Amino acid sequence: MEDKRVNIIAAISVVTLIIIIIIARILLKLSKAFFLICGAGVAVILAVFGFVFLSLIYKRRRRILESQLKSEGQEIRIEYSFLRKVAGVPTKFRYNELEEATDGFQSLIGRGSSASVFKGILNDGTSVAVKRIDAEERGAREFKSEVAAIANVHHVNLVRLFGYCNSSSAPRYLVYDYVSNGSLDCWIFPKRDSQRRPRPGGCLSWNLRYKVAIDVAKGLAYLHHDCRSRILHLDIKPENILLDETFRALVSDFGLAKLTGKDESQAVSTIRGTRGYMAPEWLLEKGISDKTDVYSYGMVLLEIVGGRKNVCLVEDEKDKSKRKWQYFPKIVNEKVKQGKIMEIVDHRLMECGGVDEREVIKLVYVALWCVQEKPRLRPSMARVVDMLEGRVRVDEPPGTRMILVDFLSVDDDNVTDSNNLPRLDTMSSQGTQSNVECNSTYSFATTVFSGR
């Protein structure tokens, strides 16, 4: 607009000068004054034409330069986007983008007590899993710092964080790579008739189960020992272990649980865990550590071997019309003492064959080491990896009565489904009935747990 105004002024100036020269010629004829006016007018006209010519050249060069800069800027943005993707830097999505990718959050593929997971497809065709965090337990700044911490974690056995959406208010969103074969629970537990959504699943072979056990151990060992800030998962269970197209195990839902420094041995947490996988020291409010994850991992190992939940409802042998709670780790402990360890293996695997008894013994021994009631007796996850891969000898674990975990893991009034155990917040002032039971037996349980 400004250039157009300059051109109009230049044209008016030239026309005005020409008119002045013509009038001077008529009035002054060929006098000396006329030639002075004519010379001055021609000089000004030439100056105006020169100015316009130079302006045109300048504007042309400026357009060329702007075009080059714009092209280079686009290339830089494309390259930056590519490098972000290669380096695993999470992308900040807008809510509208995630809503469009998930078709209005219609494709639900999983649900927890505080989050829901939806399948989505981004504009570039990338399949993602969008986790909607319904419960707001973190501020915006804390959420961003924890997302940054997760973004710096890269391991083949950890689910990669693709991006996030940090809205001004809850819910917030995390975007992960979509894992095609779903979660481990669909592959080691028999399917329930009540499941409405079609989910991938089946009976995982023994060789793949052993491989999954090693993969999960490696992922946890990386979080505990090889990260700049030690990351405690605090919710290890089959539902949080995903299997890709080659049945490689990927640990999910890590990082937003608890970040601790390398020099911190214990921490106090208000994170909600899942009953049946929570270590005794957590239930007794004695603080959490990396050994808390070790305990949960041991419980998952037993479920991998047995193909059943650690806490489940079974028919009462005396009265078939009634059902009673059964604690699988205690059964495993008794079978080990009796030398009948193969009786605990998933019966579907025994029917198909191909189960290596030596590997079964190794997995069960490692699991029993991991679920020791005293944290100091549990191995680190790095040592667990060495045990499973044969670099360290696996000795028979010491016997444990499992009185505490057997007593606190089940609440008949609150638990109605063995395959959907609720989560509880053991640090909340508004506790559930099991919390009340836990507090009422605190002195007895502490004696059992910490007796030396």
Q: Report the distance separating Cα 102 and Cα 397, nearest Å.
A: 48
Q: Report the distance separating Cα 189 and Cα 191, nearest Å.
A: 6
Q: Is 131 annotated as a binding residue?
A: yes
Radius of gyration of the chain (CA): 36
Distance of CA 323 to the CA centre of its chain: 38
Angle at 418 between CA 238 and CA 134, to 5 degrees: 60
Nearest to 275 by CA among 231, 232, 310, 225: 310
What letters, b where the CB count within 10 A reaches 16 and e where it falls short, cover 323-357?
eeebbbbbbbbeebeeeebeebbbeebeeeeebee
- The answer to whether residues 175 and 161 touch, using CB atoms and an 8 Å cutoff, is yes
What letters, b where the CB count within 10 A reaches 16 and e where it falls short, cover 388-402?
beeeeebeebeebeb
- The answer to whether residues 414 and 422 touch, using CB atoms and an 8 Å cutoff, is yes
In the set 235, 290, 346, 411, the catalytic residue is: 235
CA distances from residue 286 to 4, 267, 331 in whole angstroms, order as listed = 78, 9, 27
Per the annotation, the verdict on 235 as an active-site residue is: yes
In sequence order, the β-bridge partners of residue 92 are 164
- The answer to whether residues 242 and 179 touch, using CB atoms and an 8 Å cutoff, is yes
Structure tokens at 362: 């190794």
Residue 313's SS3 state is strand
Structure tokens at 264: 């911190």
Structure tokens at 187: 């592959």
Annotated binding site for ATP: 131
Annotated binding site: 131
Active-site residues: which are they?
A: 235
